[in-house]
């Protein structure tokens, strides 16, 4: 067990004063390593509180840079960090909070190719992501490596927290959600919005659950899902049960190594051949518009996104409504589909082609690329 030096004894004095926690709990924290997947809304309070609490090792996974839209909720960052890599800015902030923490940066996407390698050296995995492929991946890796997976999710005013750990007798994430929702059915925070303080609440509870797991203090949310409705400030605790037929943690598992999680969640792979997802650049779209081409421009974002910025003439049908509204689309014209950055529109193109639409194209980079390369006066978000 790691010994505490005089500086640490002073720093953690309020922990040491708690009879149930004391010096033994603090030593366990110092000897533990936690991996946080995502350094965004949830990752900010998770890492800040774990660092302040005295976690020995903290790994962060995130490939992104700091943008202005992050600052409404991602309290790791400030105005001075705009444009910086998130993990570089996070490291500086966390070491300022506590220089005794060993911080390991993984500035890459958490994928099937690297997940097992990254997660292997940590004791607890914390899911601070906002997409289903990574949630299923982090769950599966945690099951195979026999590590607790501290789960959190947020959207608009609601949040959830739980601990998945079959090796401790609790279910895994797949026991609760055997199948992902259809693409577009559940919006991400970027699509649906999130109240800025909500990830602070949920992320802090995730950090707390990790501390309880490491120190054996209290009762972690094993086999429990805590749901929070912040509009009414109502907390509900749901009991979850293991599924004996779960393909990952069940009695006869059929998924024993990482799979194509994008495909599992119905999302076109980024490595799919171009012939599968016909793509057009914003410059090609501009040329078509200027030539008078008789195309149909479809915007599959959410209404609040279109209120921020829109391309003149685009027809709004949110992705989640598209399958039930295909009758509103022309079959005798070329359909060009855009969203914020190209992901949802790629899913829309796949959906429309499955519905028999033949001349459908995805606008690469979406309205963000349009704003940056075609119309710099347009607001970004």
Q: What is the pLDDT of residue 26?
A: 98
On whether residue 12 sits in a domain, the answer given is no
Boundary residue ending a domain (214, 229, 264): 264
> Rounded to 5 degrees, what are φ and ψ at 171?
-70, 170
Q: Spot the catalytic one: 172, 189, 249, 265.
A: 189
Looking at the predicted structure, is the pLDDT value of residue 244 above 90? Answer: yes
The number of domains in the chain is 2
* 265 is known as an active-site residue: no
User: Domain check: are 183 and 107 in the same one?
Assistant: yes
User: Domain check: are 191 and 242 in the same one?
Assistant: yes
User: Domain check: are 359 and 215 in the same one?
Assistant: no
Q: Spot the catalytic one: 172, 175, 249, 339.
A: 339
Q: What is the pLDDT of residues 54-108, one digit of tens each?
A: 999 999 999 999 999 999 999 999 999 999 999 999 999 999 999 999 999 999 9
Beta carbons of 306 and 316 less than 8 angstroms apart = yes
User: Domain check: are 335 and 258 in the same one?
Assistant: no
Q: What is d(CA 373, CA 210) in angstroms, rounded to the nearest whole number? A: 44
> Rounded to 5 degrees, what are φ and ψ at 137?
-65, -50
On whether residue 24 sits in a domain, the answer given is no
* 189 is known as an active-site residue: yes
User: Domain check: are 49 and 196 in the same one?
Assistant: yes
Q: Report CA torsion sign: 79, 85, 86, 89.
A: negative
Q: What is the pLDDT of residues 263-322, one digit of tens each?
A: 898 776 544 444 478 999 999 999 999 999 999 999 999 998 999 999 999 999 999 899
User: Domain check: are 247 and 290 in the same one?
Assistant: no
Say which CATH number the domain at 347 has.
3.40.250.10
Boundary residue ending a domain (236, 264, 292): 264
pTM summary value: 0.80
Q: Which two tokens stand for residue 10?
A: 């002073």
Q: What percent of the chain has pLDDT over 90?
A: 88
Q: What is d(CA 250, CA 239) in angstroms, rounded to the nearest whole number? A: 18
User: Domain check: are 233 and 313 in the same one?
Assistant: no
Q: Please give the mean pLDDT across all residues of the chain.
A: 94
User: Domain check: are 256 and 311 in the same one?
Assistant: no
* E strand spans, the chain: 33-37, 57-61, 102-106, 124-127, 149-155, 158-164, 224-229, 234-239, 279-280, 296-299, 315-316, 335-338, 360-363
Nearest to residue 193, comparing CAs of 41, 36, 10, 2?
41
Domain span at residue 104?
32-264
User: Domain check: are 256 and 312 in the same one?
Assistant: no
On whether residue 128 sits in a domain, the answer given is yes
Q: Report CA torsion sign: 53, 54, 57, 59.
A: positive
User: Domain check: are 184 and 234 in the same one?
Assistant: yes
């Amino acid at each position: 067990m790691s010994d505490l030096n005089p500086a640490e004894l002073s720093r953690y004095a309020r922990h040491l004063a708690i009879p149930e926690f004391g010096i033994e709990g603090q030593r366990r924290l110092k000897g533990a390593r936690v991996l946080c997947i995502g350094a965004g809304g949830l990752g900010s309070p998770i890492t800040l509180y774990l660092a302040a609490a005295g976690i020995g090792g903290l790994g962060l996974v995130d490939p992104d840079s700091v943008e202005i839209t992050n600052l409404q909720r991602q309290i790791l960052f400030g105005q001075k960090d705009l444009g910086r890599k998130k993990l570089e800015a996070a490291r500086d902030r966390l070491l300022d909070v506590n220089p005794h923490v060993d911080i390991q940066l993984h500035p890459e996407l958490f994928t099937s190719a690297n997940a097992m390698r990254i997660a292997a050296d940590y004791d607890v995995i914390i899911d601070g992501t906002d997409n289903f492929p990574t949630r299923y991946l982090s769950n599966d890796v945690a099951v195979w490596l026999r590590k607790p997976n501290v789960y959190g999710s947020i959207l608009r005013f609601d949040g959830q927290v739980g601990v998945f750990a079959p090796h401790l007798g609790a279910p895994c994430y797949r026991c609760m959600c055997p199948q992902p929702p259809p693409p577009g059915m559940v919006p991400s925070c970027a699509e649906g919005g999130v109240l800025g303080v909500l990830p602070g609440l949920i992320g802090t509870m995730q950090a707390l659950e990790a501390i309880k797991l490491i120190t054996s203090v209290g009762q972690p949310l094993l086999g429990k899902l805590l749901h929070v409705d912040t509009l009414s400030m109502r907390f509900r605790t749901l009991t979850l049960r293991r599924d004996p037929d779960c393909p990952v943690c069940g009695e006869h598992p059929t998924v024993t190594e990482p799979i194509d999680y994008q495909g599992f969640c119905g999302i076109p792979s980024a490595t799919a051949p171009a012939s599968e997802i016909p793509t057009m650049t914003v410059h090609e779209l501009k040329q078509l518009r200027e030539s008078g081409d008789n195309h149909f421009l479809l915007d599959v974002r959410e209404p609040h996104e279109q209120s921020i910025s829109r391309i003149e003439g685009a027809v709004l049908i949110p992705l989640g409504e598209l399958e039930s509204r295909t009758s509103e689309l022309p079959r005798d014209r070329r359909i060009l589909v855009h969203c914020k950055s190209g992901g949802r529109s790629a899913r829309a193109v796949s959906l429309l082609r499955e519905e028999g639409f033949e001349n459908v194209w995805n606008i690469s980079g979406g309205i963000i690329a349009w704003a940056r390369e075609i119309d710099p006066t347009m607001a970004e978000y």
